[in-house]
Amino acid sequence: MWAVNTGRGLDHAIEGVKIFGAPVRPDFLLTNEREIFQLNAEGEWEAHEEWNIACYRRHDELFDSAASVIDRVRALADRSPHVTIIEEQDRAVGLVTTSEEAMHDVAAFLDAEASEFPDFSYQRNTIYLRFCHRDYHKGSSLGALCEHLEIDRTGVLAAGDHFNDIPMLDGRYAALACCPSNAIIPVRETVLRAGGHIASRPAADGVAEAWHIFQSRE
């Protein structure tokens, strides 16, 4: 089974799969780094309701309790030309910066400002960042999917290349971890600690390389 674990929302994930043009559609889309959808027999994406509803509820509670943090992020965006807030349904759900250097500064700002709210976290990839509950990330959503399918972590291969992929590459949710050669250094370090494979090729070619290597070990 194949799951695309992405920071994109459902509509954008579906669009990305269509543009990618793979000969086989994925069985699952894990979206916004936390929601789970399964391709049903009618070709529609069906929500894993128990997980997703709990996810939405806990994020509603988080954003209410940590509203002051969001206010401080809005103030930062108001005074910085390098930060733009991302809004969904009249709520600030994340931000985008003009460069990765600016994103490093924003991440440091959030680490300091949100220290009094231990459940407040974020996931970042290049110039994009999404606010989230610390219990919800690519790793925990992958773990929830495997639990739902009764699949042990020993039968799971996870691949990623950026900060938001780290939670699913540390060995807790997938015994087989890999990254392409163009992965950022923290990802490569995480994969090495998990006993995984750093490919010699970039992007999808690197994932294919890791797949063949893991298959040959069986």
Quote the pLDDT of residue 22.
86
Quote the pLDDT of residue 142.
98
DSSP H/E element including 124: strand 120-125
Q: Domain 153-218 in CATH: superfamily?
A: HAD superfamily/HAD-like (3.40.50.1000)
Yes or no: say if 27 and 146 are a contact pair by the CB < 8 Å rule: no
Q: Rounded to whole angstroms, how far apart are CA atoms 55 and 63?
A: 12
Yes or no: say if 191 and 167 are a contact pair by the CB < 8 Å rule: no
Under-50 pLDDT residues of the chain: none
Render 9-37 in DSSP notation, one character per residue. -HHHHHHHHHHHT-SS--SEEEETTTEEE
- The four Cα atoms 30, 31, 35, 39 give a dihedral, to 10 degrees, of -50
Quote the pLDDT of residue 98.
98
For 64-87, what is each residue's pLDDT tens digit?
999 999 999 999 999 999 999 999
What are the boundaries of each domain within the chain? 53-133, 153-218
Yes or no: say if 25 and 49 are a contact pair by the CB < 8 Å rule: no
Second-level CATH architecture of 53-133: Alpha-Beta Complex (3.90)
Quote the pLDDT of residue 102.
98
Quote the pLDDT of residue 12.
96
